[in-house]
Structures are given as structure tokens and as C-alpha cells.
Chains A and B, each alone.
Chain A
Amino acid sequence: DAGVTQSPTHLIKTRGQQVTLRCSPISGHKSVSWYQQVLGQGPQFIFQYYEKEERGRGNFPDRFSARQFPNYSSELNVNALLLGDSALYLCASSLRGQSNQPQHFGDGTRLSIL
């Protein structure tokens, strides 16, 4: 079975632009979470979606938004990009997003802002 897939792998943008990152969960998984990992730090929680509804949000500005589609895939959108948005963006899926269920991560999208 395929794992969590993310696209694109790498992305280069300039300040002020907008970006959309995509994620396909493991088949059968209905919960998707997004994380930002700045170099040298642990992942920071951005969003969690379950059954197409937002179930959790981290301390990120409104420039960050996401959605989940009927097939449980997800997109993360970031508007008005800043230099500080340069990071590895990780998507993770789990069966239902409960506290006793491990999350399985994709390989991430490395976003560089020039």
C-alpha cells in the first residue's frame, strides 16, 4: 500500500507569493494533519482535519489555511509568503485522528522563500 504522498517535493517562491501544498493520505485514513518544521527544530502543528472538517489549529496566522476533500486528500495554502515561512512542511495521516493512533508522515515539501 502506498504511504502518505506529498507534492511537490521542493518549491521555491518569492516573498508575497502564494503557495499550495498537496497531500494524499494512506488509503483508509480519514484524518490529515499539517506541520511546519523549521531547520533544527521539531515539527510545529498547523492544522488537523477529519472527515473534511477542521478539528485542530495551531498558533499560525490567518495566512495559513487548509481544506480536506471528499477523498480525504488535503491542501495547505499559504498566502503572502514571508522569508520565515521557509521550512519543511509535513503532512501526516491517521485512521481517525484520535490520541491513541499514530500518525504516518509523508516525505514533506521543502519550501524556500527568496
Chain B
Amino acid sequence: AQKITQTQPGMFVQEKEAVTLDCTYDTSDPSYGLFWYKQPSSGEMIFLIYQGSYDQQNATEGRYSLNFQKARKSANLVISASQLGDSAMYFCAMREGLSGGFKTIFGAGTRLFVKA
């Protein structure tokens, strides 16, 4: 069964420093997609970055990069040069390509606090 685990309920980071948010997943499907979303206190869910299971290189999108370690089934989000506006909930999500029935599952989330 597919599962997403985010073990850090809350994280603090100093402004302008980098931070890593952890995500591990479990699936038996060889084809899957991994996503990270940001949810500010206003509630909207903002797509940040995507990594496919067959992608050879780690995904990057501006200040966001995904540290994809397939053998360890981890997909950690790295935010470089943190900004005050990065304070939000961050969710890791997975969608299986073959057996998932088009279902996307989300982790419990990590709340990031950026300190000035």
C-alpha cells in the first residue's frame, strides 16, 4: 500500500539559510510521481516541485530542489536561502502510475518557521 511519511511536525530555520524537509514513501509500483506542495496560513495549496520515479536527475525549481534517493525511498525538499515568506505548511505527496487508481496521497505535513 502506498504511504507517505513526514517525520518533522515543525522546523525552524534562520532567514537566508538552507533547510531540508524530510519525506519517505512506500510503494510497490515502479511508476510514480512525487510532489511537494506549500500551504500558507491562508489555506491555498501551491505546487512547488515534481520528481518522477524514472527521472535520473534531481528536480530543481528556483530555490527548491528535491533530493531523490530512490533506493532509500526518500524525497526530501531542500529550500535554499530561506525567506520569511517561506513560513508555511509543506506537504509531500505521491501518485502511483499503474496501480494507484489515480489516487494522490499526502503526508501529514511539516510546519516551517523562518526566523528573522
Within 8 A of A (CB), among B5-59: 31-33, 35, 37, 42-47, 50, 52
Q: Which of A50, A90, A105 contacts B102 (CB 8 A)?
A: A50
Number of interface residues of B (CB under 8 A): 29
When chains A and B are docked, how far (Å) is the Cα of A49 from the Cα of B32? 19
When chains A and B are docked, how far (Å) is the Cα of A43 from the Cα of B102? 15
Contacts A42-B107, A50-B102, A56-B102 given; does A98 touch B43 at CB 8 Å: no
Query: Which of B64-72, B79-87, B90-98 lies on the face that meets chain A?
Result: B90-98
Decide: A90 and B107 in contact? CB cutoff 8 A: no
Decide: B106 and A43 in contact? CB cutoff 8 A: yes
Q: Is B101 an interface residue (CB 8 A)?
A: yes
**B binding-site residues for A, Cβ under 8 Å:** 4, 31-33, 35, 37, 42-47, 50, 52, 91, 93, 95-97, 100-109
Decide: A97 and B102 in contact? CB cutoff 8 A: yes
Q: Which of B96, B100, B106 contacts A42 (CB 8 A)?
A: B106
Decide: B97 and A90 in contact? CB cutoff 8 A: no
Decide: A55 and B102 in contact? CB cutoff 8 A: yes
Decide: A99 and B32 in contact? CB cutoff 8 A: yes
Decide: B108 and A92 in contact? CB cutoff 8 A: no
Decide: A43 and B50 in contact? CB cutoff 8 A: no
